[in-house]
């Protein structure tokens, strides 16, 4: 059993039922989520010891969050209680030509107002194998950015592997360029980076190389992709870069594919076409699969196939958290029948 710790905000998700719009809805369904929380919950289900660094209000809603963490087997030793509220987000699920929509309501939350000095962090990385964080936490404000930077730095000093999911959210940054510039120092502290943007990658003329080669999904121009990956690896000295692509039509059918760049080799999966029940948390499921494979020391292609299986499976699960087990992954990798299992 490996020990994995993450930093991030616990959010309460409120969603209209049955593909309704928020304007239509007479009631909202609630469940907990948050990028790092989603990753840790999946890793716990795959047999790892997990712990979350976060802040919640000392209210009944905070107690709800505590119960959720307990049920998901996420250690609460570094969960603090402080003034504020629990962050919310409203998720309106799309259908056909109507895109899904997320509305954040997280200002003045307990976590967003927390500071590095608020947390009891003595020995936080003792006997820890992996530390995970996302660009969402860094984007909230200057204090959470500092919290992220200092914890990543401390983890590296302690010899703990660090993963950073870039997780770009346009509503949390003033511009895409700002996100590139602010996340670059964090990528410098990571061993594994999830995603290709936003990362600053300037060439000799001061232009971002990804813009110069016009890198975009789907990654059909392999020469451009490899040019960017080689440059990222040289600039940031990463152990691995993992990323996915989705191709979506007007139906709920997606085409999914995943990539892993490690030691100068680009690994990739076959494209898989699936029907989608809930898209939220799918990237977190992929990240959890990458971490799971890495901490177990598996071969690169195996790591990627596990991450892809987790990624695909989450598209069929309602809610933020991927309810997947090791046997589910084994079945997907073995291409088991989709008939009822009795």
DSSP 8-state code for residue 81: E
Write the pLDDT tens digit of every residue in 226-247.
Answer: 999 999 999 999 999 999 999 8
Residue 308 lies in a domain: yes
What is the rounded distance in angstroms from the CA atom of residue 48 to the CA atom of residue 52?
13
Examine the pLDDT at 303 and tell me if it is beyond 50.
yes
Q: Is the torsion defined by CA of 43, 44, 49, 51 positive or negative?
A: positive
Residue 17 lies in a domain: yes
Residue 302 lies in a domain: yes
| Structural domain harbouring 75 | 3-331
Burial of 265 (0-12, 13-18, 19+ CB in 10 A): exposed
Residue 63 lies in a domain: yes
Query: What is the CATH number for 93?
Result: 3.40.1190.20
Output phi, psi for 117, to 5 deg: -70, -15
Write the pLDDT tens digit of every residue in 256-294.
Answer: 999 999 999 999 999 999 988 898 999 999 999 999 999
Residue 225 lies in a domain: yes
Residue 172 lies in a domain: yes
Q: Is the torsion defined by CA of 274, 275, 278, 279 positive or negative?
A: positive
Write the pLDDT tens digit of every residue in 24-70.
Answer: 999 999 999 999 999 999 999 999 999 999 999 999 999 999 999 99
Q: What is the pTM of this model?
A: 0.95
The structural domain count of the chain equals: 1
Residue 285 lies in a domain: yes
Write the pLDDT tens digit of every residue in 142-193.
Answer: 999 999 999 999 999 999 999 999 999 999 999 999 999 999 999 999 999 9
Residue 102 lies in a domain: yes
């Amino acid at each position: 059993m490996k020990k994995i710790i993450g930093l991030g905000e616990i959010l309460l998700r409120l969603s209209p039922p049955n593909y309704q719009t928020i304007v239509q809805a007479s009631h909202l369904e609630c469940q907990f989520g948050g990028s790092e929380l989603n990753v840790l919950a999946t890793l716990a289900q795959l047999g790892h010891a997990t712990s979350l660094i976060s802040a919640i209000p000392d209210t009944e809603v905070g107690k709800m969050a505590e119960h959720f963490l307990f049920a998901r087997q996420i250690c609460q030793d570094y969960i603090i209680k402080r003034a504020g509220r629990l962050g919310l987000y409203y998720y309106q699920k799309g259908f056909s030509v109507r895109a899904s929509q997320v509305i954040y309501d997280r200002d003045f939350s307990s976590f967003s107002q927390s500071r590095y000095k608020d947390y009891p962090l003595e020995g936080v990385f003792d006997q820890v194998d992996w530390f995970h964080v996302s660009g969402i936490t860094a984007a909230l404000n200057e204090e959470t950015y500092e919290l992220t930077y200092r914890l990543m730095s401390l983890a590296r000093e302690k010899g703990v592997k660090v993963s950073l999911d870039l997780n770009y959210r346009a509503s949390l940054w003033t511009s895409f360029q700002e996100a590139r510039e602010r996340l670059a120092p964090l990528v410098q502290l990571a061993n594994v980076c999830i995603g290709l943007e936003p990362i600053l990658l300037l060439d000799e003329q001061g232009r971002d190389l990804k813009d110069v080669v016009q890198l975009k999904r789907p990654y059909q121009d392999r020469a451009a992709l490899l040019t960017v990956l080689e440059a990222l690896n040289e600039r940031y000295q990463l152990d691995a870069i993992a990323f996915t692509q989705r191709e979506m039509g007007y139906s709920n059918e997606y085409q999914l594919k995943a990539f892993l760049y490690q030691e100068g080799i680009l690994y990739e999966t076959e494209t898989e076409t699936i029907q989608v029940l809930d898209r939220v948390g799918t990237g977190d499921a992929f990240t959890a699969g990458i971490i799971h494979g890495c901490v177990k020391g598996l071969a690169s292609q195996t790591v990627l196939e596990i991450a892809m299986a987790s990624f695909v499976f989450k598209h069929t699960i309602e809610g933020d958290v991927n309810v997947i087990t090791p046997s589910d992954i084994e079945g997907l990798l073995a291409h088991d029948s989709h008939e009822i299992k009795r």
